[in-house]
Amino acid sequence: MKKVIIASTSTLHGGDYLDYLVPTLQNHFVNCKTIVFIPYARPGGISHDEYTAKVASAFAKINIEIVGVHTFKDLKKGIQEAQGIFTGGGNTFLLVSQLYKFNLMQLLSETVKLGTPYLGTSAGSNICGLSMQTTNDMPIVYPPSFQTLGLIPFNLNPHYLDPTPDSTHMGETRETRIKEFHAFNAIPVLGLREGSWLEVNGEKIVLRGALTARLFLQNQEAKELETGTDLSDLK
């Protein structure tokens, strides 16, 4: 049975890395002494080791050891035998490119679907949907496919931002960009605001956190979803 936490962000403004999720993660990874971390998104271009150390410091607070997947001689074995898995944020194009390069995308999907607890934040959440096409990231590399893990039957837009009425920004809003996506694709898109996450248990998908999320369906007006909303039937 799938056991997945899909969070918009790793860090809330003014908080420490993953702090706001600690109570949830303690329960989510309750049977895990060690978690395999996938650092391939590399925020700011930091090294895999630097990123893994940052995550290890956060999980030390709940007595869980972190091992970077890049340290395994056999990457596939590292994924298959993991007690739990965490994919961090950064650039989704880079993350997806690396997962395909090492032939891990399908294996990661299958492993999580078989019940290995998974946490994704930002880019690591983007890949939980059907495709990565609703990411906010720059295409700094070219992945062989936009198809991702398919752990949920829709797409995500983490870090979703609402338009600011007094802003002088003249570029497109997140809502406009998602409407552009829907001009060519019928996949639903959920805009996850900072501090919100999805809790997936088997086929049940529930919105968590203090904020609403914004749901976009092709050829329909966007709607606000209250925390606690069940998204299991969204397709």
Catalytic residues: 122, 137, 159
Encoding tokens for residue 62? 């709940």
Residues 6+ apart with CB under 8 A from 196: 7, 8, 207, 208, 209, 210, 211, 213, 227
- Helices 105-113 and 92-101 cross at an angle (nearest 10°) of 90
Residue 128 token pair: 């939980």
Q: Could you tell me which residues come within 8 angstroms of residue 184 by beta carbon, excluding any fewer than 6 positions away?
A: none
DSSP codes joined into one string, 192-207: EPTT-EEEEETTEEEE
9's tokens: 């962000």
- CA 92 vs CA 115, 141, 148: distances in Å: 24, 10, 10
Per DSSP, 119 falls in state E
Q: What is the DSSP string of 51-101?
A: HHHHHHHHHGGGT-EEEEGGG-SSHHHHHHT-S-EEE--S-HHHHHHHHHH
Beta bridge partners of 67: 36
Residue where the block lists tokens 């976009």:
216
In angstroms, the CA 141 to CA 182 distance is 24
